[in-house]
């Protein structure tokens, strides 16, 4: 069993870029894979409290646009099991930065 997230498109994204336009991409943060959480991890830091193994995946970056169309699939392999009911999926649209932090 796997979980498929389809990043289709976004429109009218806020342009936070100083020069030109933003370079948006989608980051999908899935917390709900089988297996126990790694020992010694803090429960802070995300909306699921790190109860599960987490995995982040990204789409490609679309350059200089506030109306990106990705049409991409982001797939998580669940290793043959359904996700637990407490599983958690966070989806972010971020602005790619060559220099510094992505926002
Ligand atoms: Ca940028």
pLDDT digit string, tens, across residues 30-69: 987 655 555 555 555 555 555 677 899 999 999 999 999 9
CATH code: domain of residue 9: 2.60.40.150
Ligand 1: centre distance to CA 66 (Å)? 11
Any domain includes 101: no
Decide: 14 and 86 in contact? Cβ < 8 Å. Answer: no
**Phi/psi of residue 39, each to 5°?**
-65, 150
| pLDDT given for residue 103 in this prediction | 56
Decide: 68 and 89 in contact? Cβ < 8 Å. Answer: no
**Phi/psi of residue 12, each to 5°?**
55, 45
Q: What is the pTM of this model?
A: 0.77
Any domain includes 83: yes
Give the pLDDT mean for 71-87. Answer: 87
Burial of 90 (0-12, 13-18, 19+ CB in 10 A): middle
Ligand 1: centre distance to CA 21 (Å)? 7
| pLDDT given for residue 48 in this prediction | 59
Give me the number of domains the chain comprises. Answer: 1
pLDDT more than 70, % of the chain: 76
């Amino acid at each position: 069993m796997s979980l498929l997230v389809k990043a289709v498109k976004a429109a009218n994204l806020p342009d936070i870029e100083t020069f030109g336009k933003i370079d948006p991409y989608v980051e999908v943060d899935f917390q709900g894979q089988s297996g126990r959480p790694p020992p010694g991890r803090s429960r802070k830091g995300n909306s699921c409290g790190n109860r599960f193994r987490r995995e982040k995946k990204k789409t490609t970056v679309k350059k200089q646009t506030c109306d990106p169309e990705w049409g991409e699939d982001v797939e998580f392999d669940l290793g043959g099991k359904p996700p637990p009911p407490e599983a958690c999926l966070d989806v972010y649209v971020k602005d790619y930065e060559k220099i510094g932090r992505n926002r």
